[in-house]
């Protein structure tokens, strides 16, 4: 199976923060952001594996700042590393005020997605090739995240 470029899986989504998405402080619900992150991670992993996927874990979510009603969320994701049947997906969420053009990083997350074959069992995925400096940096730090994930799973079981 030929490896694929990291940029081939890149996915970008734009969402408007509306009143039903927000809490009593007019900031977006964290759960809503998590749903957006899970959705874009699945799309990104499917683009890479070219097969259906399931979420195995949301490895980390760092809420760095909040988005408010009226802000535009910009989600960007790509497959950052692969295992035999799994893919680590890196998701960044920025918020932007469309009136002032102020932009800030709101959330950063790593998820593990597993490719599913026609028999609904995990199926092998192609490797991933980083090209840009940013892609190489995130690719090179993936083994440490994988080890941490494995250690965390062993502690929980």
Q: What would the pLDDT profile of 57-112 be if each residue is shown by its tens digit? A: 998 899 999 999 999 999 999 999 999 999 999 999 999 999 999 999 999 999 99
Q: What number does CATH give the domain 4-156?
A: 3.10.129.10
Q: What is the pLDDT of residue 75?
A: 98
Quickly state the pLDDT bin for 153 (edges 50, 70, 90). Answer: confident
Share of residues in the chain with pLDDT > 70 (%)? 100
CB 84 within 8 A of CB 49: no
CA distance 151 to 156: 9
Distance CA 82, CA 101 (A): 36
Cα 152 from chain centroid (whole Å): 19
Asked if residues 56 and 128 have their Cβ atoms less than 8 Å apart, the reply is no
Other beta carbons within 10 angstroms of residue 156's beta carbon come to 6
- Parse the chain into domains and list their residue ranges: 4-156
Q: At what angle do helices 133-140 and 142-156 cross, to 10 degrees?
A: 30
Sign, CA dihedral 13-14-18-24, equals: positive
């Amino acid at each position: 199976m030929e490896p694929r470029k990291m940029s081939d899986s890149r996915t970008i989504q734009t969402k408007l923060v509306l009143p039903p998405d927000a809490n009593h402080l007019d900031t977006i619900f964290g759960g809503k952001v998590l749903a957006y992150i899970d959705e874009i991670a699945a799309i990104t992993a499917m683009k890479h594996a070219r097969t259906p996927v399931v979420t195995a874990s949301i490895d980390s979510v760092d809420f760095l700042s909040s988005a408010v009603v009226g802000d535009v969320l910009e989600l960007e994701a790509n497959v950052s590393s692969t295992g035999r049947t799994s893919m680590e997906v890196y998701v960044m969420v920025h918020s932007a005020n469309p009136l002032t053009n102020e932009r800030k990083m709101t959330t950063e997350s790593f998820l593990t997605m597993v490719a599913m074959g026609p028999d609904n069992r995990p199926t092998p995925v192609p490797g991933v090739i980083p090209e840009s400096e940013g892609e190489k940096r995130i690719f090179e730090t993936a083994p440490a995240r994988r080890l941490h994930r494995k250690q965390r799973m062993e502690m929980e079981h």
